[in-house]
Amino acid sequence: MFKALNKSNTYVPDTISGKKLLSFSSKKLLNNEQINSDVLFNENKIYLLNIWASWCAPCRDEHNILMQLSDNPSIEIIGLNYRDNLINAKKFINKLGNPYSEILIDKDGTISIALGAYGIPVTYIIDKNQIILKQFVGALNDQSLKEIESLLK
């Protein structure tokens, strides 16, 4: 009974799974180089795209899950830093570790909104054909980790 009290009664419909990833261009956080998503998501592998910010408490909560996933060679983790102070974003990564193979900048939030994210964190699992397999709204947790690992099999 007490478990149910902690559950959110907010239903967030998944309207993006099964659709092709939107093509977008962004600068990289660590070297300011411009890159197109079609180039970045172009290898024959599964990707995890995580929208996060240094000021986001749930993003901090899910960071250990991302660090665990970063050890799995079957998935490539891409970060999209949302409306953040870039110095604080770099400090966040330096302090907690960097699970991302690349971190892109979404300075004004337009990329995230175009992807269907209206809050953060949001995480997408994307296949080798740039099709979104699954969307996770809110912080990743142990259950999310199990779901992601099952998609990798």
How much is the pLDDT for 13?
A: 55
Identify which has the larger pLDDT, 100 or 151: 100
What Rg value do the Cα atoms of the chain yield, rounded? 15
pLDDT tens-digit series, residues 34-86: 999 999 999 889 999 999 999 999 999 999 999 999 999 999 999 999 999 99
Residues 6+ away with beta carbon under 8 Å from 14: 134, 135
Residues 6+ away with beta carbon under 8 Å from 69: 48, 75, 77, 99, 145, 148
Domain ranges of the chain: 15-144
- Segment 80-93 shows an average pLDDT of 98
Q: How far apart, in whole angstroms, are the C-alpha atoms of residue 60 and residue 92?
A: 9
Fold of 15-144: Glutaredoxin (3.40.30)
Residues 6+ away with beta carbon under 8 Å from 90: 29, 30
Q: Is the pLDDT of residue 110 over 90?
A: yes
pLDDT above 90 covers a percentage of the chain that reads: 84
How much is the pLDDT for 18?
A: 86
Identify which has the larger pLDDT, 92 or 9: 92
Average pLDDT, the chain: 91
Pairing state of beta strands 46-52 and 34-36?
A: unpaired
What is the pTM assigned to this prediction?
0.89
Q: How far apart, in whole angstroms, are the C-alpha atoms of residue 92 and residue 55?
A: 9
Q: Is the pLDDT of residue 132 over 50?
A: yes
| Cβ neighbours of 73 (radius 10 Å) | 8
pLDDT tens-digit series, residues 13-26: 566 888 999 999 99
How much is the pLDDT for 17?
A: 82
